[in-house]
């Protein structure tokens, strides 16, 4: 599994220094020391160690305020890449990223839902590795995300892990879909840049991830407080409520869009119907917004994040969902947080899971540097 928190003082410093360099592109030793409140001797020792491993390169000189011009360092994007793999229901996706967490290549392929995705993953590798600067030898770490909607997810994940490790001859690390989506948002969503504490909610899975800088916390934490980031109760399923109403003859647009009567109703068809103006669908989504808002307000009062990102699909409903959600949050959140929080939809796109897995793979490289 991915490492939730830095393990020791060195790994904490590795993550802090290397991510600071990543975010700044080029930076001087003195600026790193200033921004991290670390002595120049310590910074020089770490930077020299990274240079010996070819993780960093000299990238020019800074403006001098008198005397010798400070030398700038940056990440060596020719050093290697991280590979992120998403195991979805009927779809495999892969993304490669350099150590600056820039996307190098993306590939996707479908597979029969009743088959083992590991039987098809080598075809995905062939699609992604021939890209420029991305030979098999350049892949340094692999991250794998698996969706719980996949048939036998643990078995599928283990099979893909073995296949990837055999193909690239390096270790692979695994994580849940929500975690990988959260890290994709942290890196790719411009609203998240510079935000210290972020709460990502995967409404479809009923899961939350709290990001504090580059550490993360979820329901599996041993700490009792973080155990509250657990799945929503079954009452949050708008599809099940819609099916009952459709069987009673309510919600004609839902039926038209699903094409299969009550049995064809899903959250996606309800969102489409609400956008098309169906009153039942609109009411169901608005109610879901109110209920999710209560839960989010509860989490804000505990963890005090300043940015909340909502994903999982329901964010497509736009204001139909977000207006009642924000109203509910404002009603139940503590007064001291009222003016500090911002609630936005996810922005990372269909490759969010594979990108997030790739970013987490690079994070592991930083920790181990």
User: Does any domain span residue 290?
Assistant: yes
Structural contact between residues 8 and 368, judged by C-beta atoms closer than 8 angstroms:
no
Q: 193: pLDDT confidence band, cut at 50, 70 and 90?
A: confident
Residue 173 burial (10 A CB sphere; 0-12, 13-18, 19+) = middle
7-25 tens-digit pLDDT: 899 999 999 999 999 999 9
State whether 161 and 214 are in the same domain. no
List the domain range (segments joined by +) for residue 329: 190-347
State whether 234 and 361 are in the same domain. no
Query: With 70 as the cut, is the pLDDT of residue 50 above it?
Result: yes
State whether 119 and 237 are in the same domain. no
Q: Report which of residues 124 and 225 the model is more confident about.
A: 124
Query: With 60 as the cut, is the pLDDT of residue 141 above it?
Result: yes
Give the side-chain half-sphere CA count within 13 A for 352: 23
Domain boundary among 42, 59, 75: 75
State whether 119 and 266 are in the same domain. no
pTM of the model: 0.88
How much is the mean pLDDT over the chain?
86
Q: Average the pLDDT over 257-284 and give the result.
A: 76
Task: Identify which of 268, 296, 293, 273 has the alpha carbon closest to the alpha carbon of residue 283.
Answer: 273
Q: What is the reported pLDDT for 204?
A: 79
User: Does any domain span residue 247?
Assistant: yes
Structural contact between residues 18 and 75, judged by C-beta atoms closer than 8 angstroms:
yes
Q: What is the reported pLDDT for 336?
A: 87
Q: Average the pLDDT over 119-129 and give the result.
A: 85
State whether 229 and 338 are in the same domain. yes
State whether 308 and 196 are in the same domain. yes
Longest dimension (CA), the chain: 81
Task: Identify which of 161, 199, 171, 184 has the alpha carbon closest to the alpha carbon of residue 101.
Answer: 184
Residue 33 belongs to a domain with what CATH number? 1.10.10.10
Query: With 70 as the cut, is the pLDDT of residue 137 above it?
Result: no
User: Does any domain span residue 3?
Assistant: no
Structural contact between residues 166 and 196, judged by C-beta atoms closer than 8 angstroms:
no
Query: With 50 as the cut, is the pLDDT of residue 132 above it?
Result: no
Mean pLDDT is lowest, of 34-48, 222-236, 268-282, for 222-236
State whether 232 and 312 are in the same domain. yes
Residue 300 belongs to a domain with what CATH number? 3.30.420.40
Residue keyed to tokens 């049995």: 263
User: Does any domain span residue 298?
Assistant: yes
Number of domains in the chain: 3
Record the tokens describing residue 32, joined without a space: 């790193």
State whether 199 and 337 are in the same domain. yes
Domain boundary among 75, 98, 128: 75
């Amino acid at each position: 599994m991915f490492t939730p928190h830095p393990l020791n003082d060195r790994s904490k410093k590795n993550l802090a220094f290397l991510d600071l360099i990543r975010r700044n592109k080029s930076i001087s030793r003195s600026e790193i020391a200033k921004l991290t409140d670390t002595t120049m001797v310590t910074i020089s020792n770490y930077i020299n160690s990274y240079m010996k491993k070819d993780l960093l390169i000299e990238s020019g000189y800074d403006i001098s305020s008198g005397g010798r011009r400070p030398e700038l360092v940056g990440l060596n994007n020719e050093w290697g890449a991280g590979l992120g793999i998403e195991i979805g229901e009927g779809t495999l996706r892969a993304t490669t990223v350099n150590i600056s967490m820039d996307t190098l290549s993306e590939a996707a392929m479908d597979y029969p839902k009743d088959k083992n995705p590991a039987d098809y993953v080598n075809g995905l590798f062939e699609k992604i590795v021939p890209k420029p600067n991305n030979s098999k030898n350049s892949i340094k770490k692999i991250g794998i995300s698996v969706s719980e909607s996949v048939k036998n997810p643990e078995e599928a994940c283990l099979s893909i892990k073995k296949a990837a490790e055999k193909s690239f001859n390096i270790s692979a690390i695994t994580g849940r879909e929500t975690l990988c989506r959260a890290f994709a948002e942290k890196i790719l969503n411009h609203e998240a840049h510079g935000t210290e504490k972020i709460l990502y909610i995967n409404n479809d899975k009923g899961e939350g991830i709290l990001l504090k800088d580059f550490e993360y916390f979820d329901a599996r934490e041993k700490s009792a407080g973080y155990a509250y980031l657990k799945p929503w109760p079954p009452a949050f399923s708008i599809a099940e409520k819609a099916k009952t109403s459709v069987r009673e003859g309510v919600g004609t647009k839902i039926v038209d869009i699903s094409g299969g009567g009550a049995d064809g109703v899903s959250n996606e068809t309800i969102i489409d119907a609400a956008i098309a103006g169906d009153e039942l669908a609109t009411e169901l989504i608005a109610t879901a917004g109110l209920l999710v808002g209560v839960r989010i307000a509860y989490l804000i009062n505990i963890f005090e994040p300043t940015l909340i990102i909502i994903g999982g699909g329901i964010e497509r409903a736009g204001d139909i969902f977000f207006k009642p959600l924000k109203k509910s949050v404002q009603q139940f959140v503590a007064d001291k947080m009222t003016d500090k929080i911002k609630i936005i939809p996810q922005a990372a796109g269909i490759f969010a899971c594979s990108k997030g897995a790739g970013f987490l793979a690079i994070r592991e490289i930083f920790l181990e540097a």
